A and B are shown apart, each in its own frame.
Chain A
Amino acid sequence: MSESKTVKFKLNGREVEAPEGRLLIDAAKDAGVEIPHYCYHPALGNPGNCRLCVVEVQGAPKPLVSCRTFVKEGMVVASDSPAAMRAQQSSLELHLVNHPLDCPVCDQSGECGLQDYYMEIGRYESQVREDKLHKGKRIEAGPHVMLDQERCILCTRCTRFVDEVTKTHELGIFGRGHGQYIDLVPGKTLDNPYSGNVVDICPVGALTEKDFRYKVRVWYLDETDSVCPGCSRGCSTSVHTNTERPWHNDGRRVARIKPRHNPEVNGWWICDDGRFGYDSLDHDRLGRVMRLKDQRRELSWTEAFEEIASALASRSAGKGAGGLVVIASGMLSNEDWAAFKVLFVDTLGVKHFVFGPEPDQLGEEDELLRKREKVPNLKGGQAQGFGTEIPSASWDSLAKDIEAGKVWGLYVVERDLTKVWGQRTADLLSKLGLVIFQGPNKTATGDLAHYRLPATAYVEEEGHFTNFGGTVQAYKKALEPLGSAKPDWAIFHGLAEHLAGDRREEAVA
């Protein structure tokens, strides 16, 4: 399409402009006027079935649905006139005739389209004297999603999602008229890799997250802009945390992760791995700085930096920096990568690194969002030379070098070597005089190390990831670090400072 023309039209008495051919509902939104709607979704089309977005257009014989009306030069539109409001209100009333009104036990409460619009445009006295129709209430649609057919308003967003976005067709509309209901297509379960998105697009409590059900009320949640670390797509997300009431949500701080609309990266969606992969943020976390061998004990950061710096310095001096191998990955932020380089390349002169995602950080890829590399920031490492000037060594050659006694130390950042070497790992590590592990979570590798340093999880720090396409995105701090965990860059920085201090002392001596 060529550059579209701009048209002027009147909305609620105000002159506004919009590109010609824009849907009225979108043009109104651009102008700051939210017209109530359920079925319309910018990514899922405008079937016009909910009939809530009705507006008055001067000259039209009847109210028009703004999701199927295009703006025209000189059009006069009212979304807030008495007639338009009455039409919207009556549509809402009809949506609620058979709605079970089980808000007190519904997880959608607080973010429900029916509640919100009732407060906004409804506020009428119910006239319904009849019993409600009954349908299925507790249907396991798939591994992540529960379906309640009574709460459903038949907007068809979910069926359009599985038909048009994932093209997996697990959900369908069955029956006719008021007996109609959403259900699984016989023989299918809602288990596509993007199934959780149907919960977000469902405007009511018909589709809810199994994980989130009955855990915590949405109005107790804080929301923080974040970026999913699950793969090199780096989807924009919002992390929802529950900190004020630790007795809710089974004591977990992270209650759920939602997609954040970003047309450049992920559109409206995220995958289920990213959405439900937050368990590690509250479970099996490292919180203490530990020396695990030669008199196991907890250390202060200063003690740890001193001991590790001097061990690294003395061994490098004696055996050469070539015997130290550093293992890292695209889990590091841009800030981490910069400090990483200062410590290992500039200060210690390390020659051998392993940071490629093979084999343990690879997974499934598809055309929608998921990328093969299951780490968010290989590009950020490349910007520092890792993967460009500095190659990633292979795991096999590293194992051989260890066997051959060419390696004296390993510095492992956030990576579990047992996922690569399996049972051999303990044996290989036992041949080394110095193994340092740094990361947010407990791992078999961490337990085998001489020093184990607790790092913050991404939700406990702020930073930037550069995704596969080069888009740099900031993620914000949602939670305080657990225990004495520090961001990776701060650990690298602390060690570099101590090493520099050692050198200064050497120089003085």
Chain B
Amino acid sequence: MSTKILTQHFNEPKLHELATYRKLGGYKGLEKALKMKPAEIAAEVAKSNLRGLGGAGFPVGGKWSTMPPADKAPERYVVANYDESEPGCFKDRVLGERAPHQIIEGLLIAAHAVSAEWAFIFIRGEYGIPFKILEKAIAEADEAGLTGKVRVRLMRGAGAYICGLDTALLETMEGKKAWPRQPPPFPTVVGLMGQPTVVNNVETLAMLPHIIVNGGDWFAKLGVLPNPEKKLPGSGGTAVYSVSGDVEKPGVYEFAMGAPLRAIIDAAGGVRGGRKVKAVIPGGASTPPLSASELDTPMDFDSLRSVGSFLGAGGVIVLDETRDMSEVAHNIERFLAHESCGQCTPCREGSEWTTRILGRMLEGKGTSGDLPNLQRIGENITGKVICALGDTVGMVTRGFMKKFPDDFKSKVPA
């Protein structure tokens, strides 16, 4: 059974309009939050065990607490990350199209919680429809006096996957080439235009109104509670999954943290044409795959880590038994090579080299050195680059080779 927070009213036809959203309880969270002290909001969010849903899963309360105090650094910003470019992810798109006010309300609560008077939404350039819907929703909220003293601005990206990475996003917002910065300092200390800045994913932000209305404890209990013995932080609330690939009903499905992967696939109508699952990419193209034997894995940040993958941004890509994993790896590496920002050498050169080796193997021109080289190149990239995109470049092929070695061995001379 799926637990719905963000998508509970998605059947409501005019949910994107302010009147409908308010009728269903919208902006009650903001109203309550405005009566609270910033520290109280932050405490509630910390209690909720909300973790970042943009990919990294960083505890939200923890991130906010690293901001310097408002009296020391009065100029500060909140940025909603709406760049959603991870292949296999489209949940942010749907969240914005269907319930834009939920995002705006969350953004305003976050602004209040960190005492910021400027709030930005950075949306990927290709998201034309969500852009228009959000633009209108912001105007509505402004007109209704809901934004208060917070100025909400929408900024459109120019189309690069790397712009979704928080520090690259800040660079591109400043009008520069989107080359990731190398923290420390982290954006909460030195962010947009050098000022303390909180960057959160739009889905993460959309959770805030519900946490404020229902309480942090309620949210934490919906998900997976922390396990101090195993030093696991747990994951509060729900996650909205983008389910795609070889399923009958691709789409967006919300589940409580810790729901088994199998339940999500079932909700999407199961594997297309009654075929068998071969592999599932659980969190978007940059997360290592799980095999058919791992379908009972609970979907939450800690559980996926324990099986060598990541919850990422919840982009579940189901691959059936007809798929060749070396083709899938090639496809993803080609994407990453195309999207590598090119700043650091191992990622820039390694992504391209890996892609070309895989491409040559798929053309039937594999050589005996290819598999050891792919393995070695991957090891030489991950952990030796500036940002997580590069780490991924080195992980993808190795991840597929480890779980599906036959698909690779068949492309090189025995």
Contact = CB atoms under 8 A, between A and B. Distances in A.
Interface string A56-81: 00000011000010000000000000
A472 to B, nearest CB: 43
Contacts of A127: 369, 373
A383 interface: no
Interface stretch (A174-182, A279-287, A351-359, A442-450): A174-182
B295 interface: no
B353 A130 contact: yes
Given A98-B349, A130-B356, A154-B345, A49 B337 contact: no
A347 interface: no
Given A51-B346, A94-B350, A98-B349, A177 B340 contact: yes
Interface in A150-192: 153-154, 173, 175-180
B370 to A, nearest CB: 8
Contact of B345 (A68, A94, A133, A173): A94
Interface in B359-391: 360, 367, 369, 373, 376-377, 380-381, 383-386
Contacts, number: 94
Contacts of A130: 353, 356-357, 360
B348 A91 contact: no
Contacts of B356: 130
Contact of B342 (A129, A133, A176): A176
A431 interface: no
Contacts of A54: 384
B164 to A, nearest CB: 14
Q: Report, as a range, how many residues of chain A touch the other chain.
A: 20 to 34
A100 to B, nearest CB: 14
B232 to A, nearest CB: 18
Given A54-B384, A87-B384, A49 B353 contact: no
A103 interface: no
Contacts of A384: none
Contacts of B349: 94-95, 97-98, 178
Contact of A180 (B339, B348, B377, B381): B348
Contacts of B343: 47, 49
Interface residues of B, number: 33
Contacts of A173: 177, 342
B187 to A, nearest CB: 17
B153 to A, nearest CB: 26
B352 interface: yes
A439 to B, nearest CB: 52
Contacts of A176: 160, 338-342
Contacts of A133: 352
A175 B337 CA distance: 13
Interface centre among A127, A133, A178 (most CB of B within 10 A): A178
Interface centre among A95, A130, A133, A177 (most CB of B within 10 A): A177
Given A51-B385, A97-B353, A177 B339 contact: yes
B182 interface: yes
Contacts of A90: 346, 376, 380, 384
B345 A178 contact: no
B342 A91 contact: no
Nearest to A176: B342
B286 to A, nearest CB: 15
B352 A63 contact: no
Nearest to A156: B343
Contact of B384 (A68, A91, A153): A91
Contacts of B350: 94, 97
B397 interface: no
A51 B384 contact: yes
Given A91-B345, A94-B346, A128 B337 contact: no
A98 B380 CA distance: 17
A373 interface: no
A49 B340 contact: no
Given A177-B352, A178-B337, A91 B346 contact: yes
B67 interface: no
Contacts of A87: 380, 384
A178 B352 contact: yes
Interface in A78-122: 87, 90-91, 93-95, 97-98
B284 to A, nearest CB: 19
A95 B350 CA distance: 9
Interface in B322-341: 337-341
A48 interface: yes
B351 interface: yes
B380 A93 contact: yes
Interface centre among A91, A128, A133, A176 (most CB of B within 10 A): A176
Contact of B380 (A49, A62, A94, A154): A94
A52 B338 CA distance: 23
A50 interface: yes
Contact of A177 (B337, B346, B369): B337
Nearest to B353: A97
Contacts of A95: 345, 349
Contacts of B367: 129
Nearest to B340: A177
Contacts of B338: 176-177
A296 B337 CA distance: 76
B348 A154 contact: yes
Contacts of A68: 182
Given A63-B383, A91-B384, A153-B345, 16 more contacts: A50-B344, A51-B344, A97-B352, A97-B353, A98-B352, A127-B373, A128-B353, A129-B357, A130-B353, A154-B342, A175-B342, A176-B340, A176-B342, A177-B340, A177-B352, A180-B342
8 contacts: A48-B344, A49-B386, A51-B384, A87-B384, A91-B346, A95-B349, A154-B342, A178-B352
Sort A-B residue pairs by CB-CB distance and give the 8 closest, nearest first: A90-B380, A180-B342, A178-B352, A62-B383, A177-B340, A94-B349, A177-B342, A130-B356
Interface of A: 47-52, 54, 62-63, 68, 87, 90-91, 93-95, 97-98, 127-130, 133, 153-154, 173, 175-180
